[in-house]
Amino acid sequence: MKRIISFILAVALILPMTLTSSYANSKHGFIPPGLAKKGGLPPGIAKKFRDIDEYEWAQSSIERMSLKGIIKGISDNEFSPSKNVTKIESLAMIIRTMGWDDEANECLDLIKKGKKDDKLEEKLQDWGKGYIEVALDKGIIDEVDIWQDNFTTPATRQEVAKYIIRALGYEEEAQKYMKEDLRFKDTSAVQIGNVGYIYLIDKKEIMAGYPDDTFRPNQSVKRAEMAKLIDNLDEKLNDEDTKEDEDKDEVETKDIFKGKITELDLDDEEIVVKIDNKEKLFEIENNTVIKIDNKEENIEDLYVGMNVKIIVEDEKVVKVYAYYDEEEYKGTMLSTNIEKNELTIKVNDIEKTFKIDEDADIELDDKNVKLEELQKGMELEIKLKDGKIIEINAESIEQEYDGKIVEKIEGKTNKLTVKIDNDNETFEVDEDVEIELENNEDGQFEDLIVGSEIEIKVVNNVIVEIEVQD
């Protein structure tokens, strides 16, 4: 239910969008061009797509959702924002955002292994077949949709309305309204079997009509619109930590305020919060409950810039819910700048550089390490707070090479220069390196001879195993 509530809130903000000026007057959650809800691209992201400059309201959403792998461009640097979204694409985006992507992958794997019927065979590309199975299983589509076999055609507004209502579990309720009179001027354009979905999605204010009192049921949904929808949906679905407590508070209390802390006075125990471009002062009481990401804390743990929700009863602050602005990414390490304390990674073909917090937790194979111990090519999982890396989890790189020893360097740290293909590569040699000589006997570093053919195993640019071939 929590994900459904979040989904409704997100969809209500987005689906009414069109690229026409008439949308600017829509009454349900429009974000005007140039004022993207999240204030532009996330820190460190270099704009990937060259064809989205005229879509300022959707730029950050397109880049962010591409970075997370939820949507993809039509090429490495083109997104085609005005292109229509097909039915299978819209279904896939909704399913990914709802968190059912793994189920889709499992279904596709079963189809490929012949353990599950391929209902569409050559009629649909393989990547979409798992999503069709999940959509069918969740009741988003039915056997009639399979029989019609038109998943590669553009998705219309009335079709997307049907998908969303069904995904939210409102199919039975929608059926009750199939004979209702819709309030839109273009009701005649609505298919009879979709009347209940459009009536319900309008009643719940999930998808709005247009200022001219039309719904435009047959208008295709564009890729830029869908990107904005998915971005807001993703944000809402990840903001659930304190949902149950907040739902209770909204029923029981008189006043609720949401905003961002702009001033913090620890001596007088006061905070100033910016709410809808106006600042409001709140006095923290001795018995005020303060929770940060669902963990009980003190006023000293709050900071300027933090998002908060404040519950007021009888003109007294009884609860403060505070939230970190956090993001998580997975990618491949490209480089570090120790002097500037920066890390550059590649995520879904996008290069991005982040500042690293001075207190960041850095782990390599679950062991605490220093930044300089990380190596190019490592797979990383990073967590950011307010645009800075606060946590890095890295996995070691293990590689094997065949080559010839061209130089042997003995010292505090032994090194070998090995000719691999046509390039010379120099590696450190682990002090506990395992060396097997050509007679299958265990050897020492001093037994190695320049010119010998060897096989080596390298972990994080350090040789851990050597097998001499001749």
Task: Between 94 and 199, name the one with better pLDDT.
Answer: 199
- With cut-offs at 50, 70 and 90, classify the pLDDT of residue 408: very high
pLDDT classification of 254: cutoffs 50, 70, 90: low
What domains sit in the chain, N to C, each tagged with a CATH number? 2-237 (no CATH), 243-323 (2.40.50.320), 326-395 (2.40.50.320), 399-468 (2.40.50.320)
| pLDDT, tens digit, 9 for 90 and up, residues 226-243 | 887 777 666 655 554 445
- Report whether pLDDT(7) > 70: no
Q: What angle do CA 424, 428, 431 make, to 5 degrees?
A: 145
pTM of the model: 0.47
- Which is more confident, 436 or 232? 436
Q: 325: which 2 tokens?
A: 């602005």
pLDDT for residue 86 is more than 80: yes
Task: Please state the rounded mean pLDDT for residues 438-462.
Answer: 90
The pLDDT of residue 8 is 44
Identify the pLDDT of residue 325: 65
**Residue 247: per-residue pLDDT:** 53
In the predicted model, what is the mean pLDDT of residues 237-264? 63
Examine the pLDDT at 285 and tell me if it is beyond 50.
yes
The span from the CA of 338 to the CA of 392, in Å, is 15
Q: What is the pLDDT of residues 338-374, one digit of tens each?
A: 888 899 998 877 788 888 988 889 999 888 899 988 8
What's the mean pLDDT when you consider all of the chain?
A: 81
Residues 128-159: pLDDT tens digits? 899 999 999 999 998 888 888 788 999 998 99
The pLDDT assigned to 306 comes to 81
